[in-house]
Amino acid sequence: MGGVVEFPVWFVVIAATLATIGLIDRLLVPSVRWFLRRRVNRVIDDLNERNQLRIQPFKFNKRASLIDRLIYDQEVVKAAEEWAIENNEPRAAAMNRISGYAKEIVPAFNAYAYFRIGTRAARWLANMFYRVRLGYSDNDSLSRIDPNSSVVFVMNHRSNMDYVLVTYMAASNSALSYAVGEWARIWPLQSLIRAMGAYFIRRDSGNELYRKVLSRYVHIATAEGVTQAVFPEGGLSRDGKLRPTRLGLLSYMVSDFDPEHQKDIVFVPVGLNYDRVIEDRNLTKKIQKETGHRHWRFGTWKVVRYIAHGISLSLRGRWYRFGYATVSFGPPVSLRDHLKREKKDFRDLTRKQRFAAIQKLGDHLMAEVGKVIPALPVSLAALVFTQAGDNAISELELKSRVFALVSKLEDGGTHVHIPRHDRDYAVSAGLRMLTLRGLVRETEEGLYLANLDEQVLLKYYANSIVHLVAPHRVRKTKSTSS
């Protein structure tokens, strides 16, 4: 009974390791989870007290629960059965497909990651590249939005910086949920994006089963009051103009809307504009090739060189930001009120009628977005130079034309950003940006002329406000200073 029991060293090491893991799992992990959950709950309570739009409980459900809810949604299960019959596939296989789609789409929102990491990073990035300014904001109408409604920010899409800029500017109101393309599904970026509450989508996917899963997630999230941000144009503008409305996510949100028993959906038009879009040459590359103009070739090495050059300038104190970036918030549009005016209910319409009615809603929302896009120094100067064509103009004449354009825009209700309340400075700032980039060149006589090789890029910036020159405008706003 008192004999010695011997064990190999490798067995003792394994046993000790397993015992340590068990101890950590049973004692330390629950304590750490409790500590982190307590901090997150404090953050949420603090944010819900300060923010105009509360963070809805739906966002805090466990991701696994949301996935199960989506997989076994009545309409999704019905779609799986129809798919299995049409494609001669076992129902279990169709459900496995749906499970994969749901795991791909559903986010894993983390309030601490969003407000303590994401919004701070967004603020740092936005201010590193731009002088960020709030343009027009209909504060009275925005303050009257029912906190229990489902709010959707509807925006024009000029740059990938749009995500960063609006996240930063809307951080004091609520957490936004974006739809992000497949380009971002790389480790570790996809984990961070999911933690920020964004969901991944396959753009232009023709798979009906996938689109049903996506549509049901968007519908459920909207019905539960998740604050979202959408780009109805469906992609970045390549010529600077507003693109035609694509219904996609918008139709998923509103097609089954029940005005009597469902939360109202309130759309907030958001207009964005930049003195310089970071990826402008890449966006206009196709047009440059088609028109025979010189175009830039992009590659990994060029991007690395560009970043290295920027870091070098920053270290030497010679880094200059890309001018102004301005965001404007227009008067909200209530879906319930819109349907009352139209005397329609989407659910009572045929498929063709519903498509036409939603298209009308989408066009109306994009028109409202277009109205609040701010006019910036570069876009003002670019529009004057494109109107001048091949004619050289003096700086004095440029100022005269820009001043006349500003007066016309302001009379029509457009928000014009005038840095320092100084129109002379605004014109000088726009002209300096255009000449530094080679879009406009100075002649030997001291006149300024549009660079023929850069006409596409010059029009790109002019086109951002070309729709605002139309005479029929109503709302009156004031210019703001930096």
Tens digits of residue pLDDT in 143-180: 888 888 999 999 999 998 999 999 888 876 777 888 88
**pLDDT > 90: what percent of the chain?**
52
Q: How far apart are CA 451 and CA 295, in angstroms?
A: 14
Q: What is the pLDDT of residues 59-93, one digit of tens each?
A: 667 788 899 999 999 999 999 999 999 999 999 99
Looking at every residue in the chain, the average pLDDT score rounds to 84
pLDDT of residue 451: 94
Mean pLDDT of 240-257: 92
pLDDT of residue 58: 66
Q: Examine the pLDDT at 478 and tell me if it is beyond 50.
A: no
Q: What is the pLDDT of residues 135-145, one digit of tens each?
A: 998 888 888 88
Range ranked top by mean pLDDT from 113-117, 163-167, 331-335: 331-335
Q: Is 269 helix (H, G, I), strand (E, B) or coil?
A: strand
pLDDT band at 118 (very low <50, low <70, confident <90, very high): confident
Q: How far apart are CA 300 and CA 308, in angstroms?
A: 12
Question: Is residue 43 within 8 Å of residue 120, measured between CB atoms?
Answer: no
pLDDT of residue 35: 53
pLDDT of residue 108: 84
pLDDT band at 472 (very low <50, low <70, confident <90, very high): very low
Q: How far apart are CA 465 and CA 481, in angstroms?
A: 19
Q: Which residue would you say has higher pLDDT here, 171 or 213?
A: 213
Any idea where the domains of the chain sit in the sequence? 55-129+139-274+327-372, 279-321, 377-469
CA 85 from centroid of its chain's CA atoms: 38
Query: Residues near 231 by Cβ (< 8 Å), separated by ≥ 6?
Result: 155, 156, 157, 162
* Least confident span in 20-29, 234-243, 425-434, 472-481: 472-481
Q: What is the pLDDT of residues 276-301, one digit of tens each?
A: 999 999 899 888 776 665 555 545 56
Q: Is 265 helix (H, G, I), strand (E, B) or coil?
A: strand
Q: How far apart are CA 34 and CA 299, in angstroms?
A: 47
pLDDT of residue 473: 46
pLDDT of residue 148: 85
pLDDT band at 225 (very low <50, low <70, confident <90, very high): confident
Question: Is residue 237 within 8 Å of residue 243, measured between CB atoms?
Answer: yes
Pairing of strands 177-180, 199-200: parallel
pLDDT of residue 141: 87
Q: How far apart are CA 111 and CA 55, in angstroms?
A: 9
Q: How far apart are CA 72 and CA 75, in angstroms?
A: 8
Question: Is residue 147 within 8 Å of residue 52, measured between CB atoms?
Answer: yes
Q: Which residue would you say has higher pLDDT here, 1 or 112?
A: 112
Among residues 110, 120, 273, the alpha carbon closest in space to that of 192 is found at 110
| Residue in this structure with the two tokens 């726009």, named with its chain if needed | 430
Q: How far apart are CA 373 and CA 351, in angstroms?
A: 33
Q: What is the pLDDT of residues 401-451, one digit of tens each?
A: 999 999 999 998 999 999 999 999 999 999 999 999 999 999 999 999 999
Alpha-carbon separation of residue 192 from 63, 65, 151, 159, 373 (angstroms): 14, 20, 23, 20, 30
Question: Is residue 102 within 8 Å of residue 294, measured between CB atoms?
Answer: no
Mean pLDDT of 249-270: 92
Question: Is residue 152 within 8 Å of residue 228, measured between CB atoms?
Answer: yes
Q: Examine the pLDDT at 306 and tell me if it is beyond 70.
A: no
Q: Residue 131 forms beta bridges with which residues?
A: 324
Q: How far apart are CA 198 and CA 173, in angstroms?
A: 17
Question: Is residue 132 within 8 Å of residue 322, measured between CB atoms?
Answer: no
pLDDT band at 398 (very low <50, low <70, confident <90, very high): very high
Q: Residue 265 forms beta bridges with which residues?
A: 150
- Judged by phi (left if over 0) then psi (alpha if -120 to 50, else beta), residue 22 lies in alpha
Fold of 55-129+139-274+327-372: Glycerol-3-phosphate (1)-acyltransferase (3.40.1130)
> What are 379's two structure tokens?
């876009």
Q: Residue 450 forms beta bridges with which residues?
A: 440
Q: How far apart are CA 431 and CA 461, in angstroms?
A: 13
Q: Which CATH architecture has domain 377-469?
A: Orthogonal Bundle (1.10)
Question: Is residue 157 within 8 Å of residue 231, measured between CB atoms?
Answer: yes
